[in-house]
Copies of this chain bind each other. A is one copy, B any other.
Amino acid sequence: MQTLTAEILPQTIRQRPADSYKGTYGRIVLIGGNQNFGGAIIMASAAAVYAGAGLVTTLTDPSNQGSLHARLPEAMFADYHDDALLTSLVTGADVIVIGPGLGTDAPALATLKRVLALVTPQQTLVVDGSAITLVAEHRLTLPAVPLVLTPHQMEWQRISGIRIADQTEAANRQAVDRLHATVVLKSHRTEIYTATGTYENPLGTPAQATGGMGDTLAGMVGGFLAQFSDPTHAVLAAVYSHSAIAEELAQTQYVVLPHQITEQLPAFMKAHEAH
């Protein structure tokens, strides 16, 4: 297992070419946020916007429209119950993030199934949170597309069948290869399993142990994938940046709020871009 270092940042975060426009940095849709967990998809969407994704649309319950725009006018909104709109937006996206605050009820399952049926190999799909639980519980087949899963240890147990105590590198690797996915296995020392390597994130602070951290990471992963050409680098750099910013904030804060990490992203990325 390789330990991530700050070198992943300039390897990933390139100086933007002068002659570029918002389309250059990708179209991303984020799907989640039912009536109870609207904050989750708002936090994920904000992370994607502040990471620099070109065009961000949030597919969520209509009850979240107002709070989304109150916090984040830069994101577009769509009602995830509107199948025609969902189909059009998912089809037109470069990156799809599904899961933050999606919930596990029947409509959530239907939405997830619809998205799994729509995605194509030209797109990247990030499956997070309750979407992982749904995949596991309903034994859904993941599509043969570029795939990133961002489970915490219990969600990983559900989808891999490996109990938390048995989640060794070797056991995880077997499951990862079976899933044909990049897996971000979140714990106090997050591990990232890609097709070709395994990485440990040396950073992370218990000040991050609060609701919404994972939603924010999922949005960052999506935002990095939307704009950086090497998907492995994008995932590794997103994970590293998330923790590095949190550690910085934790120098002076007992707890770090997820939205605070997001707000630091533009400055952090600038400080670490390649030249």
Contact = CB atoms under 8 A, between A and B. Distances in A.
B209 A77 contact: no
A17 B205 CA distance: 9
A90 to B, nearest CB: 15
B253 A16 contact: no
Contacts of A163: none
Contact of A77 (B35, B66, B73, B78): B35
A153 B230 CA distance: 29
Nearest to A39: B73
Interface stretch (A43-51, A108-116, A137-145): A43-51
A73 to B, nearest CB: 3
Contacts of A245: none
A37 interface: yes
B210 A76 contact: no
Contact of A55 (B54, B187, B211, B257): B211
A21 to B, nearest CB: 5
A214 to B, nearest CB: 9
A199 to B, nearest CB: 19
A206 interface: yes
A18 interface: yes
A70 B66 contact: yes
Given A65-B35, A266-B253, A266-B254, A213 B22 contact: yes
Contacts of A255: 50-52, 266, 269
A69 B253 contact: no
A252 B39 CA distance: 28
A172 to B, nearest CB: 18
Contacts of A52: 210, 254-255
Nearest to A20: B206
A233 to B, nearest CB: 15
A166 to B, nearest CB: 17
Contacts of A20: 188, 206, 209
Contacts of A266: 252-257
Contacts of A188: 18-21
11 contacts: A16-B205, A36-B76, A36-B77, A39-B75, A43-B74, A63-B66, A67-B70, A73-B258, A74-B258, A75-B211, A252-B270
The 6 A-B residue pairs with the shortest CB-CB distance, nearest first, are: A39-B73, A16-B206, A254-B269, A52-B255, A67-B69, A253-B266
Interface of A: 13, 16-22, 24-25, 35-40, 42-43, 46, 49-56, 63-79, 85, 152, 187-188, 205-207, 209-213, 250, 252-259, 265-267, 269-271, 273
